[in-house]
């Protein structure tokens, strides 16, 4: 067993916090691990990545070779592009769909999300909306790790234990916010994947899961939404018009 994960984002988005949680979960599970990270100049708003590897055997390189990553976990969608060639052909991408625009030549969002959505093994989440629902926009990194948790070798509790450890110093409230961000991220990812396995494409799955009340997302409701969406694609616009008040359980209301 060997798992190679590229963590990607922009300096200040909390990539090293994601690494901390995964490192400790890997350690608890008794795996060997190496985790290379970026310090110094790049942390000032530049592209930041970390290579995290864990295995049941000793690991040689601190860096993941091209085509050997099992997962790219990105807190920012453009950053997926930067490391995509590291992904195994059968590897997965879990990414925030929310751009961090601090450069003048940031690509057109529609095109970027289009390219990401065309990749079958991807989970996209509206990390900003979920983090806001959790209580703090800075918790987007925990939303993404929650979303990725459905693919990882650890139970949510094994990961959450270290989310708590990470924020314990900052008080109970911050711990609760980050726990919630993780849980909302996980549920959004389950909902997203359930839509896709029910025949909805990645782009629409992102749109729908971004439009519903974050706390209401429930994978069990996804097949119902998939049927509704297939019958009436205009439902996405209707939900958008209704604002944030539509819950995952409301799909029947939009059927006809």
Footprint of another protein (CB under 8 A): 10-11, 16, 19-20, 23-24, 27, 29-47, 56, 59-68, 78-79, 81-82, 84-91, 102-107, 115, 119, 121, 165-169
d(CA 209, CA 207): 6
User: Which candidate, 94, 92, 72, places its Cα nearest to that of 83?
Assistant: 72
Cβ 40 to another protein, closest distance in Å?
3
In the bound state with another protein, the residue whose beta carbon lies nearer, of 168 and 240, is: 168
User: Quick check: 82 and 8 in contact, CB under 8 A?
Assistant: yes
In the bound state with another protein, the residue whose beta carbon lies nearer, of 66 and 173, is: 66
In the bound state with another protein, the residue whose beta carbon lies nearer, of 20 and 156, is: 20
Query: Rounded to 5 degrees, what are φ and ψ at 105?
Result: -100, 35
User: Quick check: 38 and 81 in contact, CB under 8 A?
Assistant: no
In the bound state with another protein, the residue whose beta carbon lies nearer, of 45 and 199, is: 45
Cβ 248 to another protein, closest distance in Å?
31
User: Quick check: 200 and 226 in contact, CB under 8 A?
Assistant: yes
d(CA 218, CA 252): 15
All residues at 6 or more sequence positions from 171 whose CB lies less than 8 Å from its CB, including other chains: none
Cβ 197 to another protein, closest distance in Å?
20
In the bound state with another protein, the residue whose beta carbon lies nearer, of 154 and 254, is: 154
* 3-state secondary structure at position 158: helix
In the bound state with another protein, the residue whose beta carbon lies nearer, of 89 and 243, is: 89
DSSP H or E segment with residue 72 = strand 69-74
Which residues lie across from 47 on neighbouring strands?
Answer: 10
Cβ 217 to another protein, closest distance in Å?
27
* C-beta contacts of 35-39 below 8 A and 24+ residues apart: 35/62, 36/62, 36/63
Cβ 38 to another protein, closest distance in Å?
7
In the bound state with another protein, the residue whose beta carbon lies nearer, of 61 and 155, is: 61
Cβ 133 to another protein, closest distance in Å?
25
Cβ 251 to another protein, closest distance in Å?
33
User: Quick check: 208 and 244 in contact, CB under 8 A?
Assistant: no
Query: Rounded to 5 degrees, what are φ and ψ at 152?
Result: -85, 170
């Amino acid at each position: 067993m060997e798992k190679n994960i590229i963590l990607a984002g922009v300096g200040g988005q909390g990539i090293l916090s994601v690494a901390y949680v995964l490192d400790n979960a890997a350690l608890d599970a008794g795996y060997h691990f190496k985790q290379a990270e970026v310090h110094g100049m790049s942390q000032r708003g530049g592209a930041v990545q970390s290579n995290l590897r864990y295995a049941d055997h000793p690991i040689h390189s601190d860096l993941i070779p091209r085509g050997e990553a099992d997962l790219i976990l990105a807190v920012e969608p453009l950053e997926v592009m930067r490391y995509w060639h590291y992904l195994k052909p059968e590897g997965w991408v879990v990414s925030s769909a929310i751009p961090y625009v601090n450069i003048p030549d940031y690509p057109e969002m529609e095109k970027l999300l289009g390219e990401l959505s065309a990749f079958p093994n991807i989970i996209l989440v509206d990390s900003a909306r979920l983090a806001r629902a959790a209580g703090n926009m800075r918790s987007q990194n925990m939303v993404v790790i929650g979303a990725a948790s459905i693919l990882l070798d650890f139970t949510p509790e094994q990961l959450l234990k270290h989310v708590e450890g990470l924020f314990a110093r900052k008080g109970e409230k911050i711990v609760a916010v980050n726990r919630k961000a993780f849980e909302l991220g996980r549920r959004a990812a389950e909902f997203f994947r359930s839509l896709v396995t029910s025949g909805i494409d990645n782009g629409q799955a992102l749109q729908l899961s971004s439009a519903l009340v974050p706390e209401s997302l429930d994978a069990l409701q996804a097949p119902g939404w998939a049927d509704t969406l297939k019958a009436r694609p205009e439902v996405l616009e209707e939900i958008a018009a209704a604002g944030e008040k539509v819950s995952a359980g409301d799909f029947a209301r939009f059927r006809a």
